[in-house]
Structure 1
Amino acid sequence: MVYRSIIYLLLITLGAGQFSLAVADNALQAAMELEGALLLTPDIENGKKVYRTCAVCHQPEAWGKESGYYPQVAGQIRTVIIKQLADIRARNRDNPTMLPFTRLELLSLQEIADVSAYIANLPMTRHNGVGPGTDLVHGKKIYEDYCAECHGPRAEGVVDDHIPLLQGQHYRYLMRQFFWIRDGRRRNADKKMVKQIQGFQSRDISAVMDYISRLQPPEEKLAPADWRNPDFPNYRSTGHRQ
């Protein structure tokens, strides 16, 4: 707790932008921002206001797109969302599309805490994109042998270790991120995972991502069949303003 308090004071005193100049390691900067944001009490109402910018791409419901270009972020673990935003801002994870929106002058630590809590509380879609469904037995075996130890038996993630929830995620997004992790484009990926997946063949990758995409979240995390986010009545389902 003392460690977290010191980090928070540094961030408040120096500002995250200036603090980044005081450390050479982007991962360290991101870790310190994560710890600082976790100290803050999230304001869900303000998070809703912050999410207005996010909704244009991630959709008002935060369900992303089956194309895999935007992930479903609704229902994601709050600490995971905070970590990814901090990693993107510190350039510990490459995301050119999101990077401009994470600048300190646009997104404070408090706003990261707020919007992450808002997104985490949104219900998830029942109809995420899935794979071909032709090799699920193999996919299940791969998952149980290599993935379940960290991501959980049903890909539910781990809060304390900031390991993401994968269930209900779009198949094409899972595929794209797998290749980025394997090829080193996501520097914030777990080093053990990066090493472990180097030997995966094309069949293994498609099968396990297909299997994961079909792992449904528990009923209480799912949205009603025709749910639309009432916080954004002036957005169409495409994510653009009417």
Structure 2
Amino acid sequence: MSVKPVIIGLAAAVAIGLSFSVTAADTSSWKEKTVSGETDEAMHLEPDYENGRDVYEVCSACHMPEGWGFTDGTFPQLAGQHRPVLIKQLADIRALNRDNPTMYPFALPESIGDAQALADVTAYIAKLKMNPENGKGEWAEGTPEFEQGKKLYADNCVRCHGDHGEGNVEKFYPRIEGQHYAYMLRQFEWIRDGKRRNANPDMVEQIKNFTDKDMKMVINYISRVPVKKEDLAPSADWKNPDFD
């Protein structure tokens, strides 16, 4: 049976952060945390889409009814993210494998429900259409910084995140195309500097020598990669009819 959420108002949906992630001190347990525990349980449950919509009401106060977050990066865009990635990040926050003290109380079972609720709400979020005007970096296509970011992405990121940032469902690699520049930049820096305890150690190793300028250029590039039209909302003015 699905567990209905406790609706707790504006503070209740503080950012789910998505993820590229890890710290060197915790590398040995990353794979276990990815495939076991509540993540594994929720992945094997049949989602109740209607209950997922109800649970998402808690999240919508910060991530917005459309799941778009904010272009300034305060809260990430969740819409269209791979369901396994969403499950893992929620489960990691609940299990204190990812530090997010603001969100932690609102991710707990008493706030949103048990593993079934995770299965439900992530199924709902994954089907939301994405913001067609995500937050982007400062360098337009054709500038030297854009081209260098493109090269950095090809040399360092494409193997895991895909040719256009589509991610990998089976390996829990997040979809980063269409994500807000400022949010990705913050997460990239935290991963590089060892502040994301649930990050993939392979990524930490891959980006450890990135300068701040490298970081900005590669994130600028991926923030500008076009998302397939069928995955986008019809306009930036679109409103989620489930919350009218």
TM-score when normalising by structure 2: 0.82
1:93–1:185 Cα contact (<8 Å) kept: no
Give the CA RMSD over aligned residues.
1.5
The question of whether the paired residues in 2 share the 8 Å contact of 1:168 and 1:214 is answered with yes
Q: CA deviation at 1:123?
A: 0.1
Question: Is the CA contact 2:189–2:215 (under 8 Å) kept in the aligned structure 1?
Answer: no
Aligned-partner residue type, residue 213 of structure 2: R
CA distance in 1, matches of 2:42, 2:104: 18
Counterpart for residue 231 of structure 1: 242
- What residue is the counterpart of 2:56 in the other structure? 51
Contact 1:78/1:117 (8 A) holds in 2: yes
Q: Which residue of 1 aligns with 2:207?
A: 197
Match of 1:66 in 2: 71
In 1, the alpha carbon distance for the partners of 2:154 and 2:29 equals 33
What does 1:161-176 correspond to in 2, within 5 Å? 161-176=171-186
Query: For residues 29-44 of structure 1, what are the structure 2 equivalents within 5 Å?
Result: 31-44=36-49
Map residues 108-187 of structure 1 onto 2, 5 A cutoff: 108-133=114-139, 134=143, 135-187=145-197
Q: After the TM superposition, which parts of structure 1 deviate over 4 Å for at least 4 consecutive aligned residues?
A: 25-30
Instruction: Give the unaligned 5+ runs of structure 2.
Output: 1-27
Q: Which stretch shifts more, 182-191 or 74-83?
A: 182-191
> Which runs of structure 2 are paired with 1:12-23 in the superposition (5 Å)?
none
Residue 26 of structure 1 contacts residue 92 of structure 1 at CA under 8 Å; is this kept in 2? Answer: no
CA distance in 2, matches of 1:202, 1:186: 17
Structure 1 segments unaligned to the other structure (5+ residues):
1-24, 234-242
**TM-score of the two chains, using structure 1 as the length reference:** 0.83
Q: Name the CA shift for 1:187/1:81 in 2 (closer, same or farther; >3 Å).
A: same
Task: Give the share of equivalent positions with the same residue, in percent.
Answer: 52
Q: Secondary structure at the match of 1:231?
A: helix
**Alignment-derived partner of residue 5 in structure 1:** none
Amino acid at match of 1:88: I
Please tell me whether the aligned partners of residues 26 and 90 of structure 1 are also in contact (alpha carbons under 8 angstroms).
no
Q: Which has the larger radius of gyration?
A: 1
The one-character-per-residue Cα deviations of 1:30-75 (angstroms, maximum 9, x if unpaired) are 7311110011000111000000010000011010011111000000
Alpha-carbon offset, residue 216 of structure 1: 2.3
Question: What is the CA distance between 1:201 and its match in structure 2?
Answer: 1.1
Count of aligned residue pairs for this structure pair: 209
Q: Distance in 2 between matches of 1:218 and 1:62?
A: 17
Matches of 2:106 and 2:91 in 1, distance apart?
A: 12
The residue type paired with residue 167 of structure 1 is E
- Once the two structures are TM-superposed, the CA of residue 26 in structure 1 deviates from its matched residue by 8.4
Q: Work out whether residues 29 and 90 of structure 1, in 8 Å CA contact, stay in contact via their aligned partners in 2.
A: no
Within 2, Cα distance between the matches of 1:185 and 1:141?
26
